[in-house]
């Protein structure tokens, strides 16, 4: 087997795994990602470590679960002594670079990258003045405004991603001229809300997209039902549902065009055969299924992510792998593929040997966590601590103070039939519940988060007064955001 010389890791934000032509979506316009899947292996059961940005991304970097490193929410700072997979590559002599989004909170805006361009659009420090979304104010977060201000127009996030693409193409030109191996991460914002896309895409998808296929479940009690109501998702007119969905599919199409430019450049430069190309996203999006939007839940629309790996000299072409994996496994896998040493004390596992045929054993078990306190405005003032485990075809998830839910994805892929109270499923329910709680106590998590919040409040108050300088910030102009039709 010939190991990859180079790596290009493309990491998007909020791409639902099912909105992909290669995954069977007949309406998705994703020729570039479909081409990548035809060149490599598509992981059909890949999950995020948390269905929210920062904890998922920091866990991907460190190959550890959110609770293992106390990075649960979007204002948690990952401890500076946590090595990432970029540190591992650097230790192996490969100089990793980043163009675009990372969404790291705090003073460390490199996290093991040796160089970075374009950067993020939001400040490094909670408490600092936030970016201005202009006419799309509030529509980028899980707020009711996002289901009103949607449809045809332009988001600054798309403008930024086009800048990221240009910078990444230039970086590939530079890197390919050097004799040294390269490891380039390209971080995209799309298809993250606002649900606003170019009119050509919105008009196209309004004509072809069906309505959501999964209705709100009668068993969606507890936190999920409360979340749906609190965020106004249970009162979205059909016209807005159609516009928001059309825009989301349009954002995926726009993202795919940019990815296509990157793949074309690898071909033009003659480095495709030497480069491992990986595509993944930090979490999914409900896009109206179950009457839900955004992410935040453990249903597959939210917790599952697209994941494709392609390297012509070591991986099969046009195959799918049904092993259950996580983003914390992906980072270990990329280290392994490039010949670096695995991260110590990591919970992720490399599946590179499985993909290359060097080993067949794999434990089909992954975890996903969603924990938040009541401080961020979009939480509606309600804290929650939840965790999911998937083992094989079974999935169980638990929110603190609520009974668990259990689904058999082999017979119920849309997760519409809760089997937790089915006597025939008692053995698997009890086994998964024991596994989920073996190293995770929701009450202990709640207490740890409260203690951390007290410390974070001081840091936020400091940032609000001192307004520290943020680094690697892309200059967002609120005028970049517009709605062409209301």
CATH 3.40.720.10 describes domain 6-366+468-483: yes
Burial 304-338 (b: 16+ CB within 10 A, else e): bbbbbbbbbebbbeeeebebbbbbbbbbbbbbbbb
What pairs with residue 415 in β-bridges? Answer: none
Q: For residue 486, is pLDDT > 80?
A: no
Do residues 256 and 29 make contact, with C-beta atoms less than 8 angstroms apart? yes
Q: For residue 415, is pLDDT > 70?
A: yes
Q: For residue 321, is pLDDT > 90?
A: yes
Q: What is the DSSP string of 398-449?
A: EETTS--EEEETTT-TT-----TT-GGGHHHHHHHHHHHHTT--HHHHHHHH
Do residues 105 and 126 make contact, with C-beta atoms less than 8 angstroms apart? yes
Q: For residue 217, is pLDDT > 80?
A: no
Q: What is the pLDDT of residue 219?
A: 62
Q: For residue 1, is pLDDT > 80?
A: no
Q: What is the mean pLDDT of residues 425-450?
A: 97
Q: What is the mean pLDDT of residues 122-139?
A: 94
Domain range annotation of the chain: 6-366+468-483
- Phi, psi values for residue 483, rounded to 5°: -115, 125
pLDDT, one tens digit per residue, over 64-74 is: 999 999 999 99
Angle, vertex CA 111, rays to CA 388 and CA 91, nearest 5: 105
Q: What is the pLDDT of residue 255?
A: 98
Strands 365-372 and 384-391: antiparallel
Percentage above 70 pLDDT, the chain: 99
Q: What is the mean pLDDT of residues 338-351?
A: 96
Contacts of 306 (CB under 8 A, 6+ apart): 15, 16, 17, 20, 23, 33, 42, 46, 279, 280, 281
Angle formed by the axes of helices 31-39 and 238-269, nearest 10°: 50
Angle formed by the axes of helices 238-269 and 199-208, nearest 10°: 120
Q: What is the pLDDT of residue 218?
A: 61
Q: For residue 447, is pLDDT > 80?
A: yes
* Cα–Cα dist 57/101, whole Å: 10
């Amino acid at each position: 087997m010939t190991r990859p010389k180079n790596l290009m890791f493309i990491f998007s934000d909020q791409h639902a795994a099912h909105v992909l032509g290669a995954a069977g979506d007949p309406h998705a316009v994703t020729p570039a990602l479909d081409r990548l899947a035809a060149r490599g292996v598509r992981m059909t059961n890949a999950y995020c470590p948390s269905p929210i940005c920062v904890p998922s991304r920091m866990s991907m970097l460190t190959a550890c679960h959110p609770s293992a490193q106390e990075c649960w929410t979007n204002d948690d700072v990952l401890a500076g002594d946590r090595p990432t997979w970029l540190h591992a590559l650097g230790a192996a002599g490969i100089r990793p670079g980043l163009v675009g989004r990372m969404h790291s909170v705090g003073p460390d805006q490199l996290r093991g990258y040796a160089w970075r361009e374009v950067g993020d659009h939001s400040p490094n420090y909670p408490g600092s003045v936030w970016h201005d979304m202009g006419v799309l104010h509030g529509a980028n977060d899980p707020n009711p405004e996002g289901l009103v201000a949607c449809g045809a127009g332009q988001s600054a996030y798309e403008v930024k991603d086009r800048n990221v693409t240009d910078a990444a193409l230039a970086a590939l030109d530079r890197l390919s001229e050097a004799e040294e191996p390269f490891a380039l991460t390209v971080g995209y914002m799309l298809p993250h809300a606002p649900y606003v896309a170019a009119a050509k895409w919105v008009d196209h998808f309004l004509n072809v997209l069906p309505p959501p296929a999964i209705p709100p479940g009668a068993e969606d009690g507890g936190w999920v039902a409360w979340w749906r109501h609190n965020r106004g998702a249970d009162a979205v007119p059909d016209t807005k549902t159609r516009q928001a969905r059309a825009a989301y599919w349009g954002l995926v199409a726009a993202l795919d065009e940019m990815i296509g430019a990157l793949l074309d450049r690898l071909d033009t430069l003659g480095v495709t055969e030497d480069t491992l190309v990986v595509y993944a996203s930090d979490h999914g999006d409900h896009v109206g299924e179950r009457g839900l939007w955004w992410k935040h839940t453990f249903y597959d629309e939210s917790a599952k992510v697209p994941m494709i790996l392609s390297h012509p000299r070591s991986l099969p072409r046009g195959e799918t792998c049904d092993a259950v994996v996580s983003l914390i496994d992906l980072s270990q896998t990329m280290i392994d593929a490039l010949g670096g040493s695995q991260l110590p004390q990591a919970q992720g596992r490399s599946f590179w040997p499985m993909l290359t045929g060097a080993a067949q054993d794999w434990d089909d078990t992954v975890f996903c966590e969603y924990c938040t306190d009541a401080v961020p405005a979009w939480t509606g003032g309600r804290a929650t601590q939840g965790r999911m485990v998937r083992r094989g075809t079974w999935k169980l998830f638990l929110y603190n103070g609520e009974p668990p839910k259990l689904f058999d994805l082999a017979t119920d892929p849309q997760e519409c039939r809760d089997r937790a109270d089915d006597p025939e499923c008692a053995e698997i329910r009890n086994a998964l519940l024991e596994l989920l709680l073996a190293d995770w106590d929701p009450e202990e998590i709640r207490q740890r988060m409260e203690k951390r919040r007290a410390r974070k409040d001081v840091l936020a108050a400091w940032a609000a007064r001192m307004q520290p300088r943020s680094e690697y910030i892309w200059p967002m102009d609120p005028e970049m955001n517009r709605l062409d039709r209301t």
